[in-house]
């Protein structure tokens, strides 16, 4: 089973390869990151690590035993006990339940390690795989939105029950 790891500086080469190799696959269902993302990858990676160290975001990679990045699950814009969840899984790893497992693990970390009480997420209506992951991991659709000009749904998930269960085990 791939390991969920908090983003580190030494992940840069494998993460860059993951994003390059899956660019067209991701762009079919979510907005493309653009050429600047790839051209300035190292500087952006360093900046994201600084933002993570400041507690603004929590970035995670799903890493196979050989160091290959199979996915990423991020909590961004952390404020007031809440954050926005975003995730992507490599085309070669899709359909194996990795997104569901990784999202569940990050939700648990959000509640127990990061002290969050709620998460938000969004996806386009035509991204049925992402909508299924959100439903399987306890997110509830709360409204409609537009993402890059495409109709979508907003979701939320309360984490109070996760942190309460963690406290009970202590």
Question: Does 163 have pLDDT greater than 90?
Answer: no
pLDDT average, residue stretch 18-23: 97
CATH number reported for the structural domain that contains residue 142 in this entry? 3.40.630.30
- Report the pLDDT value the prediction gives residue 165, as an integer from 0 to 100: 52
What does the pLDDT read at residue 29? 82
Per-residue pLDDT of 29-60, as tens digits, reads 888 899 999 999 999 999 999 999 999 999 99
Confidence label for 160 from pLDDT (cuts 50, 70 and 90): confident
Is the model's pTM score more than 0.85?
yes
Q: With beta carbons less than 8 A apart as the criterion, state whether 107 and 139 touch.
A: no
pLDDT by residue (tens digit) across 96-128? 999 999 999 999 999 999 999 999 999 999 999
How many alpha carbons lie under 13 Å from residue 136 in its C-beta half-sphere? 15
b/e string for 128-160 if b means 16 or more Cβ within 10 A?
eebbebbeebbbeeeeeeebeeeebbbbbbebe
Domain count, the chain: 1
Domain residues for 145? 3-169
- Residue 148's pLDDT is 84
């Amino acid at each position: 089973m791939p390991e969920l790891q908090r983003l580190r500086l030494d992940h840069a080469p494998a993460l860059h390869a993951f994003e390059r190799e899956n660019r067209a696959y991701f762009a079919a269902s979510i907005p493309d990151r653009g050429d600047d993302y790839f051209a300035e990858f190292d500087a952006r990676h360093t900046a994201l690590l600084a933002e993570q160290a400041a507690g603004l975001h929590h970035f995670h990679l799903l890493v196979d035993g050989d160091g290959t990045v199979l996915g990423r699950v991020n909590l961004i814009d952390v404020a007031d006990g809440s954050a926005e969840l975003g995730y992507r899984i490599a085309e070669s790893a899709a359909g194996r339940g990795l997104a569901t497992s990784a999202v569940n693990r990050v939700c648990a970390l959000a509640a127990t390690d990061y002290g969050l009480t709620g998460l938000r997420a969004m996806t386009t209506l035509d991204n049925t795989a992402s909508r299924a992951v959100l439903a399987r991991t306890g997110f509830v659709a709360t409204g409609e939105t537009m993402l890059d000009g495409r109709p979508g749904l907003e979701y939320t998930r309360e984490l109070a029950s996760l942190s309460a269960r963690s406290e009970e085990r202590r």
